[in-house]
Structure 1
Amino acid sequence: MTTPSDLSPQELRILVAAAESGGFSAAAEVLGTTQSAVSHAVRGIERKVGTVLFARARTGARPTPAGTTAAAHARRVLRMLDVLLVDARAAGRGTGTDEHTAGGPLHIAAFRSAALHLLPPVLERLTARRPGIEPHVRIVREVGPGTAGEVAAGRADVGIATLGTATPTPPGLVTGILLEEPYALVRPAGHRASRSLPLVDWIENCSSYTREWWATQDWIPRATIEADDDGAVLAMVAGGLGMAIMPALSLTGAPSTVRITDLGPTRPTRSVGYVTTPELAASTAVRALVHELRHTRAAGMLPLLTGARA
């Protein structure tokens, strides 16, 4: 039995569309309805929730902090309704909810080097074993909320994230460490005084907790060249424009024009893991992905993350 404060799935969809579209007219286009219908529905949602969810203006309607929170919960509820159908149908066919019968879309947010070098072999194995799963990978910059923020906001089922950094994981999420990724010095091959070169960096690297380690290394100069991402940093180093301190995933497939040097036993590392919600952690698709991540790591199929080229 419903109560007057219950929100229907359609109301949740309207809430999400309004929050993501920047206005009721744009949401109406997405939903195939009218602006007045969306506006009326939002007023009803606000009455049920008991607070203002959108700030109205001539330029559109923007979610208030309460609206942003409500939209995040709405995305997660709608996603669980999708999971309910997949898992219930599998159970109805007598296949249960074993990972081997997992199906449906699986939305993954990953930072760039993880998406390029860690996920491909994992997803290859996952889809070969469980062809019903449809992975959708989106690259998210690991700055601010990062990939964990995408999970908390309901825009991703799983995030491949850097854990233990200065930005804490949003409360209430489930996490698991997959590997410790060591940092190494990367410099142009053949350069006689490579440590005299300027330091090339990118914002995601600077946000790492390894900043404390960097502060104790008087031989590392202040970064004077900043690139958009780790791929651009590696290209600049390969071109002789500077040196860099980079994590192992970013150095996967590094060209022969760079030299990678181990930073020794006190080298910094970065914890790479997965993030999901408690409710999705039990879903067949997410369980299947986590299983493959752990299995692939245990089988030594992830990119080589220890040692470095001298």
Structure 2
Amino acid sequence: MLDLWSLKVLTEVGRLGSFSAAAEELSMTQPAVSRQIATLERQTGVRLFERLPRGVRPTDAGRAALEQAGEVLRGMRLFETRMRAFATAEAGRVRVSAFPSAATTYLPERFRSFAGRHPGVELSLTVRSGEHDPCAAVLDGDTDIALLTSWDVAGATGVVLTPVHEDELLVALAATHPLAQGSRVRLRDLAAEPWIDGTHPDCLGPISQLASALGGTPRISHVCDDWNGRQGLVAAGVGVMLYPSIAGYSAARPDIRLLRPSPSLPSRTILAAALPPTDRPPAVSAFLAALTTPEPTAARVPPRRRSR
């Protein structure tokens, strides 16, 4: 059976036209190179080189063998390069699942930044509905990294949870709403407002403080799973909603206003669930590290409302 070292010797003899020169290049003796070529000729059943007074010259079969050997060696180098890339987070695949607001701005920005540094890694995103268990998807191998909130960490076993974002909860009002002119809004002043709810965790959530600040349970008039649809309802003035900062302030419609509630609502931690480091590919660990990179300060501050 032919081996890669024999093909390497073959290509060096063909490149240099001499057993002696090839031996020097490969740190071998000239007789060892001669025996290697003789063995190849016996294995292939054809003469590969014409022996000349000074050096050797490939036969027609030898030229074909050199061409084929070059392709095999290039393929092996490519194989080694690609395997090294997988071992150093320069290749591979990272599958991410997230809830809608996290997929609005936060993850697309992380994808763009990561792809610029790791162009050989394939990224994919699945936006999941509230009834799916993100940790189970990681354990079952259906996804590599799943984003979830601190509302959902109870019972999360077998995965490593890494905090990646502290999520401030704001109130979204229509730009034409009488209370939308400042930077803060008293929750008690919204007690009579209809509220728009959505799929967990993009919902009013288990926030007892909201009901306490309102002076009673919020009156839910609409339930909309679509992130853009919820903003549309707010812009139309038919209700108000909570707006998590992970959605990105630049992603808010221009005809709605984001205000900090008074009193402030407790923030929630966004976490990334993944397998333990020893059980995940380097590319997954690299993307997880990218998720923990601090955001620019400007991205964490609601923009000032433009003066008319």
TM-score of the two chains, using structure 2 as the length reference: 0.61
Write the mapping of 1:94-105 to structure 2, written as runs, cut at 5 A.
Answer: 97-99=87-89, 102-105=90-93
* Per-residue Cα deviation, 1:51-81 (whole angstroms, up to 9, x for no partner): xxxxxxxxxxxxxxxxxxxxxxxxxxxxxxx
Deviation at 1:197, TM superposition (A): 3.1
Write the mapping of 1:186-201 to structure 2, written as runs, cut at 5 A.
Answer: 186-192=172-178, 195=190, 196-201=192-197
Write the mapping of 1:102-121 to structure 2, written as runs, cut at 5 A.
Answer: 102-121=90-109
Verify the 8 A CA contact 2:99 2:202 in the aligned structure 1.
Answer: no
1:160 is matched with which residue: 147, 158, 161? 147
Deviation at 1:183, TM superposition (A): 0.6
Unpaired stretches in structure 1, ≥5 consecutive residues: 1-87
Given the superposition, is the C-alpha separation of residues 234 and 250 from structure 1 closer, same or farther in structure 2, using an over 3 Å criterion? farther
Work out which of the two has the higher radius of gyration on C-alpha atoms and give 1 or 2. 2
Counterpart of 2:158 in structure 1 is 172
Counterpart of 1:229 in structure 2 is 226
Counterpart of 2:244 in structure 1 is 247
Residue correspondences, number: 215
Output the amino acid matched with 2:300.
Answer: L
- Between the aligned partners of 1:149 and 1:191, the Cα distance in structure 2 is 42
* Secondary structure of 1:203 counterpart: coil
* Per-residue Cα deviation, 1:120-176 (whole angstroms, up to 9, x for no partner): 1211121221111001111112x24443332122200111222x2156253110111
Deviation at 1:206, TM superposition (A): 6.8
Deviation at 1:265, TM superposition (A): 6.0
Aligned identity (percent) is 21
Verify the 8 A CA contact 2:145 2:284 in the aligned structure 1.
Answer: yes
Counterpart of 1:133 in structure 2 is 121
* Secondary structure of 2:97 counterpart: strand
Write the mapping of 1:251-266 to structure 2, written as runs, cut at 5 A.
Answer: 252=249, 253-264=251-262, 266=264
Residue 271, structure 1, aligned to residue 269, structure 2? yes
TM-score of the two chains, using structure 1 as the length reference: 0.60
- Between the aligned partners of 1:264 and 1:306, the Cα distance in structure 2 is 17
Output the amino acid matched with 2:88.
Answer: D
Residue 184, structure 1, aligned to residue 170, structure 2? yes
Verify the 8 A CA contact 1:176 1:274 in the aligned structure 2.
Answer: yes
Output the amino acid matched with 2:209.
Answer: W
State the 4+ residue runs in structure 1 displaced beyond 6 angstroms: none
Given the superposition, is the C-alpha separation of residues 197 and 308 from structure 1 closer, same or farther in structure 2, using an over 3 Å criterion? farther
Deviation at 1:193, TM superposition (A): 6.4
Given the superposition, is the C-alpha separation of residues 264 and 146 from structure 1 closer, same or farther in structure 2, using an over 3 Å criterion? farther
Counterpart of 2:69 in structure 1 is none
